[in-house]
Chain A
Amino acid sequence: MKVDLYEVMSRATLSRRRMLQGATALGAIAALPMAARMAAAEAHGNVRAEILKIPGVGMGSPTDSDWQKVGEMCLDATKANVAEGEFAGVELTFFGINNNGLHNILFRGLLKGWETYTGAKINWIDLAQADYNPRLQQSIATGTVDFDILAMGAPLEGDTASKGLLDEMPDWVKAQIEMDDYVGYLKAPVGTWDGKTYRISIDGDCHTFAYRKDYFGEGAIGGAEVPKTWQQVNAYSKAVVGQTDPLTGQAAIGYLDPLKGWGGFGFYFLENRAAAYAKHPSDPAWLFDADTMKPRVNNPAWVQAIQDVLDLIATPGAYPADQINADPGTTAFSQFLAGTGSSLMWWGDVGSNARTSDTSVVGDVVGFGINPGSDRVYNSASGAWEETYNEAPNMAYLGWGVYVTNRVSADEKKRKAAWSAAAHLGGKDLSLWMSAYPSGFQPYRNSHFQYDEWEAAGYDRAFVEDYLGSNADSYNHPNAAIEPRIPGIFQYYSVAEDELSKIYAGQYASAQEGADAIAAAWDKITDDIGRDSQIALYKASLGM
């Protein structure tokens, strides 16, 4: 009982019966908000369960009408902050990609109900993935930014937030989208830029280890245990050479490294190996020295990662024929899902496609884990290897976000409209649906890992726990390898891909020599863009 309540009751001469009546009444009044909250929570829970039924797992891909329905059902959060018709007459321009008929195309449907309710109109700039970055960079460089809302990968914040192009997120948006629910790595400092919040996350990105369960176990060709370190990955990849794949009957293949570039994205796959060696728990930086931007790509840790790949290239039969011409898309969709090779690192698409894609033959034998670790880790500060186990999941690409540009900053009505639209897309319930159904986005909130919801929606519990669990473990890992959000980050990756192509083709005398060439090219890019500003932004992006 509360003190003031006790005093009130003791001053009055109350009969026991009256006091109990009063206490009951007070309790009822005190419980009112709780009851209301419970009702609201139930309704909220119902929304989550109801949207997961649209169209229903196994009922085919959602269509535009499904997207519109889901968008309308998730409008409660918007209605709490925006009056009906409040944005009548406001026109916004939304800039994003249209990959696989998703992203912007999906957003159109999801925002349809929002447009109807608020009265705002959204115009769309749809771009193919390959055109996205050049168009964005040209808009920035030529001062012709012609969009108010921007769907963008977090690594490009170095090119946008650093140039003051973005509008800072208002507090009401943070409350509406329940940012506390984000997984660990998406919170500050990765969730902020220089202490300010610009991004409404709609995606979480990391690479997880997908493997064939039939390769491992007692008597299996890959060994009794699933490899936990890159040393073990290489050892089993060599051990299975000459054996037969238990599923397809073809030659058994171990780990699948993509050896061909992929517009810069191929570099993430060397990073997977290097993270375990190079990402020391005491240092958030692992690609460059934070104080000088001196590349670390030619330190012993990275050279070891390159050497691991070269060792497999030198082992006949360790890779499928023509692996030198296999990019990451090939390793995932033409090789692993089609039954060639027994493990690889990829984004969540491999998990979601393993069971749903018509071309996948591995749905029943696929397992997931976090990025393999290493028996030793290189400490850049001391310049020496440390013989301790280390693991560092690679947060490759960090995830997509929705941003508002500073074009709307001066017009409060338009600004609120832009943030409201963005918040709708990044809403807690809507994001559950987006992570459960084809959208192009992975789970990124702690609430996305409530496996009961997935099971109730029709997913196989064991599979979802395995697949989503590897994501959750990676996101919340204390030694996650974080991608630096510095300007031109994909320039570094792209030029590294060119050099890696030469390294893998044997044009350098050693891995070290090739790595030195990458480092020299990276130094050149840093000088081109501006070393001092890159140092400052590198530190800001890692929260140093």
Chain B
Amino acid sequence: MSSSGDLLHVVTNDSISAGRKAFGRAITWGSAVCMVIIAACQLAQVLGWWDLGFENWRPTLYAYVMWAVCLCWGQVLQYGEHGKRTLFVLPAALFVISLTVFPLLFGLIIAFSDWNLSSPDGRQFNGLDNVRQMWADPFYWNAMLNMVWYVLAILVEYAIAFGLALALNAEIRARKFFRVAFLLPLMLSPVAVSWMIGKSMLEARFGPISRLGRALGWDNPSFFESPWIAKATIMLMDAWTFIPFMMIMILAGLQAIPKELNEAAKVDGANGWRAFWEVTFPMMLPVSITAILIRIIFKLKLADIVIAVTSGGPGGATDTVTSFIFREYRDRSNVGYGTLLAMVYLVVIILVMTLLMKLADRYARPRT
């Protein structure tokens, strides 16, 4: 047994023969070469260079599985006990890669293709045509602009959620009841919200909210007729569903703040507002940032309410990127263009979220 190296975690020290190591390397690299050759042959057939009679991509899949098995086996053959430890992670890593990287690659191939399911020619690689089409597509950019407004509405939602959380954190009667009651909207499906509220309660002639509007002197209550009212109504319905989510996160944060801090502030003579602004709010910044970031991610996926209630109207005023992609992909079977729009949106989301997290990291540390 060796007297150096990772002695803490090694149970036995293998003496691995050179032949075994060579076999391990051979099966690892041999299966890799085999996989590359089969994939190349299939690619050649897809590109029309060489017809080998493959009917689908399963041979490459099988080659990949064989390579994965050989890679794992090779680890044990070459590295013995260390190799076995690798096996705790390697299969899971390969599995995750299979389910993320490969679909992503195929998604990219589709995104740069002209693939209208109704076309008799099937999928055709079309370079950057989809990007050019996207660049000149007023519906997509209109939806992007709408997303900016929808995301900005989160600031208002946050303020309301914070207020509700403060109220529920206070010593009020029936606190537990209110906590549950305020959480109820979050438990509802957005589609149910769309029908119950958007299509029923807000129905212009018979909806109870419209009747109330008329009783209060509003001649023709209409919640989806003018672009800004329609946008605001969608924002309200979405906010009603998701404010409880932010509220519950902030409430958890509030309960984690040591009471001594507020008591110390009181002793120092701070009034309620000053104590909130100088103690509670800064202490809550990390939780707030997390809540807002998660809420932004939810908001960027907003589609169900819009699809069910307005279909993006009037005139695209309530359209979201996701609902537009839905129409492009589903109603128009435009798989190539729809995939590109989704990919671009994914990149935009990643960039914006990364930027926001950096900014949050820099400016939102608790002031101590």
Contact = CB atoms under 8 A, between A and B. Distances in A.
Ranked nearest first, the 7 interchain pairs of A and B with the lowest CB-CB distance are: A505-B315, A488-B118, A322-B204, A325-B224, A494-B331, A487-B118, A137-B117
A501 B316 contact: yes
A505 B116 contact: no
Interface string A494-510: 11011001101111000
Contacts of B331: 263-264, 490-491, 494
A321 B224 CA distance: 9
B225 A325 contact: yes
B203 interface: yes
A159 B117 CA distance: 9
Interface stretch (B180-188, B215-223, B354-362): B215-223
Interface string B95-128: 0000000000000000000111111111000000
A322 B223 contact: yes
Contacts of A138: 117
B315 A504 contact: yes
Interface stretch (A182-190, A376-384, A466-474, A526-534): A526-534
Scoring B115, B222, B313, B335 by chain A CB atoms within 10 A of each residue's CB, the highest score goes to B313
25 contacts: A134-B330, A140-B117, A158-B118, A163-B120, A261-B313, A263-B331, A321-B204, A321-B205, A321-B220, A321-B225, A325-B204, A325-B224, A487-B118, A487-B119, A488-B332, A490-B331, A497-B311, A498-B139, A498-B316, A504-B315, A505-B313, A505-B315, A525-B116, A529-B118, A530-B121
A331 interface: no
Contacts of A325: 204, 224-225, 230, 309-310, 313-314
Nearest to A131: B330
A389 to B, nearest CB: 35
Contacts of A487: 118-120
A530 B124 CA distance: 12
A260 B120 contact: no
B314 A505 contact: yes
A340 interface: yes
B117 A334 contact: no
Contacts of B83: none
Interface residues of A, number: 46
B334 interface: yes
A137 B311 contact: no
Interface string A314-358: 000000111111010000001000101000000000000000000
Given A260-B313, A321-B204, 18 more contacts: A130-B330, A137-B118, A140-B117, A141-B122, A158-B118, A163-B120, A320-B205, A321-B205, A321-B210, A321-B220, A487-B119, A491-B333, A497-B311, A504-B315, A505-B227, A505-B316, A529-B119, A530-B121
Given A501-B316, A502-B316, A494 B332 contact: yes
Tell me the interface secondary structure of chain A in the complex. Answer: helix
A232 interface: no
A162 interface: yes
Contacts of A260: 310-311, 313-314
Contacts of B20: none
Interface string A128-158: 0010011001101100000000000000001
B315 A528 contact: no
Contact of B116 (A491, A498, A502, A504): A491
A529 B116 contact: yes
A491 B327 CA distance: 10
Contacts of B122: 141
Nearest to B324: A498
A506 B116 contact: no
B74 interface: no
B317 interface: yes
Contacts of B312: 498, 501
Contacts of A529: 116, 118-120
Interface of A: 130, 133-134, 137-138, 140-141, 158-159, 162-163, 250, 260-264, 320-325, 327, 334, 338, 340, 487-488, 490-491, 494-495, 497-498, 501-502, 504-507, 525, 528-530, 533
A327 B203 CA distance: 13
A137 B120 CA distance: 11
B224 A322 contact: yes
A502 B333 contact: no
A130 B317 CA distance: 24
A501 B314 contact: yes
A501 B315 CA distance: 5
Contacts of A323: 225
Nearest to A248: B205
Nearest to A340: B205
B313 A501 contact: yes
Contacts of B120: 162-163, 487, 529-530, 533
B228 to A, nearest CB: 12
A491 B225 contact: no
Contacts of A507: 315-316
Contact of A505 (B309, B317, B330): B317
Contacts of B114: 528
B119 A530 contact: yes
Interface in B20-43: none
Interface in B313-368: 313-317, 327, 330-335
A158 B330 CA distance: 18
B255 to A, nearest CB: 42
A322 B221 CA distance: 8
A321 B330 contact: no
Interface in B37-93: none
B130 to A, nearest CB: 11
A338 B224 CA distance: 21
A528 to B, nearest CB: 5
Contacts of B115: 141
A141 B118 CA distance: 8
Contacts of B227: 505
Nearest to A325: B224
Contacts of A141: 115, 117, 122, 335
A60 B70 CA distance: 66
A498 B327 CA distance: 9
Contact of A321 (B221, B230, B313, B327): B221
Contacts of A497: 311
Given A137-B118, A140-B117, A260-B311, A491 B316 contact: no
Contacts of A505: 227, 313-317
Contact of B334 (A321, A338, A498, A528): A528
Given A320-B205, A322-B204, A494-B327, A159 B118 contact: yes
